[in-house]
Every structure is written in C-alpha cells, then in structure tokens.
Amino acid sequence: MADVNANKVFTFYQEVPMSDSMKALISEKEKIVFAVKTMRDLAVFTDKRILIAEKQGITGKKAEYYTIPYKSIVTYAVENSGTLDFDSELKLTLLGGITAQLRFMDSRNKNQMLIKVYHLINEFMVN
C-alpha cells in the first residue's frame, strides 16, 4: 500500500494515446485532455485531476494509482530546461504539505509538455 504522505517524483517522456485500462478509471464528468508515458507507466491529465498508474513488480501486472486533484494543489513552481538540461519540472505542493514533482523528458521540445500541464493547472486555478 502506498504511503500517501510520501513525496513522489514522476517522470514523463512523451504524449501517447489513451489506454483502455486508464479510460475505465475516468469519470463521465471528466474530460480527458491528454495522456503521457512514464518509464513503465501511464499518466492521464483530465480537466479535474492527474491520474498516474505506477506499475509494480517484474511483470508489471500489479499497479498503484495516484490521483492528484487540481483542487488539492496549494502552490506550484515551474523549472524549465536549460541548454544542457535533459528535463523540465513542475513542483506541486498539495494540501497537507505533500509534495509531488513532475519531470518532463520530451526530447523533441523539452518544455512543451511542461507548458501544457502548467496551462491546464492554471486554467483550473483561475476559474
């Protein structure tokens, strides 16, 4: 079982089509914005939350799912990639002092996914 008080780091590589297994976890009241691939896993960004599937074990048949509702975000900071950096980051502080770090390793345009997620969270925060 996950330690919900643990600080988590998730690394995302590229935008991918939505999987059927993740679609089953999305509410009819949510709008899917896009999905991204992690090393072994998948994350889905909706208009209400971030849903991350973290596969476990050798076969990856066991998975743990993390949900980060946008309404639980207290503060967020962006660190874009420099010339020699391989990643850009979005650092989230959630209710209860829990932190989550989202790293984006998109080799085509290092900051493209970061900016997309930043705008998604910003849209929720200002409305």
Q: Which residue type sits at 2? A: A
Q: Are 100 and 121 in contact (CB under 8 A)?
A: no
Percent of the chain residues past pLDDT 90, beyond the cut? 35
Q: What are phi and psi of 122, to 5 degrees?
A: -60, -45
**Predicted confidence (pLDDT) per residue in 61-77, tens digit:** 788 899 999 999 999 99
The CATH architecture of the domain made up of 8-126 is Roll (2.30)
What pLDDT is attached to residue 87? 77
Task: Give me the residue spans of the domains in the chain.
Answer: 8-126
Q: For the chain, which residues score pLDDT lower than 50?
A: 1
Report d(CA 75, CA 73) in Å as an integer: 6
The CA distance from 38 to 14, in Å, is: 8
